[in-house]
Amino acid sequence: MKVFAIGAITKQPTDEQRQQIMPKEVPDTLKLYLDGKIDQFWFRKDKLGVVFLMNAGSVDEAKAATDQLPLTKGGFMTFEHIPVGPLAPLGSLIQGK
């Protein structure tokens, strides 16, 4: 299953908090990528945050992964999790269907 995890910074960490959190946030995010749980990732251009395209068995599994990220655990970021799949109506364009 593919899940878009759309993260938004809900409160800015102080410089001191950022210095403590970011050395953990980046490796934890990269571990999710290297483990195949994050397929692609982007920075948002509309506000501070990220968008992950995740591979998960369920939305709850994707949520459990993003809940463990230091910014989320610290109350600085929240995620919306949206399951996505193939564009089913395209099947009607296949001849013989």
Alpha helices in the chain (DSSP H): 15-34, 59-67, 70-73
pTM for this entry: 0.89
Assign domain 2-93 one CATH number from 3.30.70.1060, 3.20.20.140, 3.20.130.10, 3.30.2010.10: 3.30.70.1060
Write out pLDDT tens, residues 4-47: 999 999 999 999 999 999 999 999 999 999 999 999 999 999 99
How far is 62 from 65, CA to CA, in rounded Å?
5
Write out pLDDT tens, residues 59-88: 999 999 999 999 999 999 999 999 999 887
CA 94 to chain centre: 33
